[in-house]
Chains A and B, each alone.
Chain A
Amino acid sequence: MKLNKVILNNYRQFFSLHEFDFSKKNNKGINIIVAKNGFGKSTIYRAINWCLFNKEPRIKQSQTDTLTQLNDHAEFISKKGDRNEMFVEIQFQDETNDDKIITIKRTASYLKISDQAGNMSSESILADRKIELKYFTKNKGQEIINNDGEVKIFVDAHILNDNLKNFFFFDGEELSEFIQDNKAKSIESDIDVLTGISDIEKTRINLQNWKKNVEKSIPKIMKKGDALREAEKECGRLNSDINSYNKIINGYKERLKELPAKIDELTEFAQADNIAKQLNDSIDEIDKKIEILEIQIEEINRDLNKDIATKFSTLTLQKSLQNFFESVQTEIDNDKLPPPEIKGAKAIEALIDDDNQLSIIDPNDKNKKNIYATVDWKNGINKEDFIKAIKDFNLFAEKQRDSSYKELAQGGYKVSNKLIAANDLKSFEDSCIKGYSKVNRKKDEITKLQSERSKHTRNLDKIDQDKFKDAAKTRIELIEEKDKLEKDLYADEKTLKYKKNDFERAKDKVEKEKKNLNLNSDDEKKLKFINDCLGILAPSIDQARKENLKSISDYFGSTFEKNCHKPYQASINDDFKISVLNDKYKELALPNSKRLSEGETYLAGFSYMLAMKTMTHYNFPFIIDTPLASCDDEYRLSIMTLFANLTSDLTNSHATFLFTPSEYDKNVIEAIDGHVSNHYELGIDENDNATVKKVI
């Protein structure tokens, strides 16, 4: 796509209408605009961006509102009610068809609501804003699009993709920084965009999403496939169950046929066993009875012994008492009991002498008496009266003693007689005889039971107990087995019936799922088709990426090496980093290292841009602002010569340079001499509006 013309009207410092011709003439592919900073160089680029993308790059957000875009002078001189129109129009020519001219015009108009005469703070309001894109098609002739969204799609698809803006317009300073930063991610994505791989990649992603979309019926397909497999599995399982149940049921039936005869055979033995069992039970019963009788005998004997012992001890006591009291009576009767007396009365008399002195002869001198007291008799009593009183007392005490012993002997007789009365020996003897006869009767009973027991034992000995016992046990087991088998048979026959029904249903399901699967064969075909597409698309992308990188790297390297003044080797390596090696293979293009001179950095940047443009065959025109601002003089000639040759070699290639006067030096003039199609100089008038002078 060739850029032919840019027209500005009241856009920022461009008051009124200005037209810039950028068309290529006589195979001369370079346009130049020379202007001091602030005279409108970058405004031209902004105008193009605004027109194409409705954006103004590299400008403060506060300065991008629509009123600020309107030329100040145009706004100032207009009167109240005037409509100011601002527009940018760009004309492209499709290089594939010279007849095809595309013009895009973006307009914004403003209505003046107060003028400078009435109010010094003049204002405008946005009255209208529109976009118009005209293009020619062979079939329909000229067509017009005036919807912002549709214009954007058209521009993206046919003129300049939004992602490629940085290759359409750039700043020399920015390019230098780009090389210094050496951003791999940016290089990788730029190559993808320029080589069209990003569109191919998007197609791959869309194909994958389409595949997922189709696979929404894959779950269905899988489900149905799974359901068929599940149904077939269920059929197999049920069939196996049915066979197992049939085997089990047949086994039950066979066994049930045999069991009744076997049970009958064992019945006779079981009866014999029953008799033995009864005999054993009788013996056990007799043993229990004997045991009870023996306990009873033991109890009677114990009671009798106890009574005899009690009776014997009572009789012994009675006899002893009797003897004792008889002996007491005899003693009293014979007056053999000693009388009670105050002993020593005579001695006391001897102690009191006639002088009523109480004295004792000295043990050491028999002739000497030791006097201890004098007795003071009271109430006219004397020594003889006192001795008489002692004798009277002894007499009284003797009488009292005799009376007490007599009472005691009489009481003893009474107790003894009472004991004799209580011990009725006759009834005691009768009671004993009765007890012993009871014992004898129980012993007889035991003997009788033992005899009966012996009889049972003898009968039992005649029976083969073990044999009959086993037979009876076996018979019971067989009967239990028969009962269980009958129950199991009933339950299993019922289960078998259900299983057979389930089996029929599972068979129906298998048929149904088979039909369902056939219905989805179209989806499967589609899925296979998409998978096959992805199978060749993905490796092709990978391979193309590698080859594209190699081509671009080679072009970049050779361009740089040819124009570099030192023996450096340049390339873009596999991880998308720009590499510049010196003659000792030391890496110079490290981020922010500044190992490359300014000129070398500029050369690397332009070599990269040219490599991308040339090797990707993407035809976009360059517009380069301040291309050589801080570039070394020695490289200016080389870089501009590079562009001059490129634009003349490639028919559809052209570049527009926006120089400051200091950049536009003799080296540049020499390099591009004979290659310039259009040359403009920008100035500024007394109203700060840009002036445009066409030199060539």
Chain B
Amino acid sequence: MNKKFLEILKKLSKEKGLEVHESFITAMINKQSREKFNNIVQFKSPAELLYKQLSNKLEDEA
């Protein structure tokens, strides 16, 4: 993935306290790159799954 983009995203997410969101975005971009989701139907399922894992993690941390 584009290094500059990752650096900028990391910096911005840290400033806003959205590190979990950053890991979600990174993971979904990697999936997009590998699996080439052409529509929301393909995207939605892994996105929902990952969101569920991350939201559980967020709640556990909280």
Residues of A within 8 A of B (CB): 153, 156-157, 195-197, 199-200, 202-203, 206-207, 209-210, 213, 525-526, 529, 532-533, 535-537, 539-541, 543-544, 547-548, 551, 617
Contact = CB atoms under 8 A, between A and B. Distances in A.
Nearest to B33: A199
A535 B12 CA distance: 10
Interface in B18-62: 18, 21-22, 24-25, 28-29, 32-37, 39-40, 43-44, 47, 51, 55
B9 A532 contact: no
Contact of A540 (B3, B8, B34, B47): B8
Nearest to B47: A210
Given A206-B37, A539-B12, 11 more contacts: A157-B33, A209-B39, A532-B16, A533-B18, A536-B13, A536-B16, A536-B22, A536-B25, A540-B5, A543-B4, A544-B4
Interface of B: 1-5, 8-9, 12-13, 16, 18, 21-22, 24-25, 28-29, 32-37, 39-40, 43-44, 47, 51, 55
Given A157-B34, A206-B40, A200 B4 contact: no
Contact of B4 (A209, A213, A547): A547
Contacts of B33: 157, 196, 199
A202 B2 contact: no
- Pick the most buried of A535, A544, A548: most chain B CB atoms within 10 A of its CB: A544
A149 to B, nearest CB: 12
19 contacts: A156-B36, A196-B2, A197-B5, A206-B28, A206-B37, A206-B47, A207-B28, A209-B39, A209-B43, A529-B55, A532-B16, A532-B21, A533-B25, A535-B18, A536-B13, A537-B9, A544-B8, A547-B4, A617-B3
A532 B51 CA distance: 13
Contact of B36 (A157, A540, A541, A547): A157
B37 A533 contact: no
A209 B40 contact: yes
A150 to B, nearest CB: 12
Contact of B44 (A200, A213, A540, A547): A213
Given A200-B29, A536-B25, A210 B44 contact: yes
Contact of A197 (B2, B39, B40): B2
A535 B18 CA distance: 10
Contacts of A156: 36
A197 B33 CA distance: 10
Which of B2, B25, B35 lies at the interface centre, i.e. has the most chain A CB atoms within 10 A of its CB? B2
A203 B51 contact: no
A540 B4 CA distance: 9
A195 B37 CA distance: 18
Contacts, number: 95
Contact of B32 (A195, A199, A617): A199
A560 to B, nearest CB: 22
A541 B5 contact: yes
Contacts of B1: 196, 199-200
B51 to A, nearest CB: 6
Chain A interface, >50% SS class: helix
A397 B44 CA distance: 154
Closest 8 CB pairs of A and B: A544-B5, A206-B43, A209-B40, A540-B9, A196-B2, A199-B33, A540-B8, A195-B2
A210 B36 contact: no
Contacts of A197: 2, 5
A540 B29 contact: no
A213 B32 CA distance: 18
Nearest to B38: A202
A681 B51 CA distance: 57
A196 B32 CA distance: 10
B10 to A, nearest CB: 9
Nearest to B5: A544
Contact of B16 (A203, A209, A213, A535): A535
A642 to B, nearest CB: 24
Contact of A203 (B12, B21, B32, B39): B32
B34 A537 contact: no
Nearest to A542: B8
Given A213-B40, A536-B9, A548 B21 contact: no
Nearest to A200: B29
Contacts of B40: 206, 209-210, 213
A188 to B, nearest CB: 15
Given A157-B33, A213-B44, A540-B12, A203 B28 contact: yes
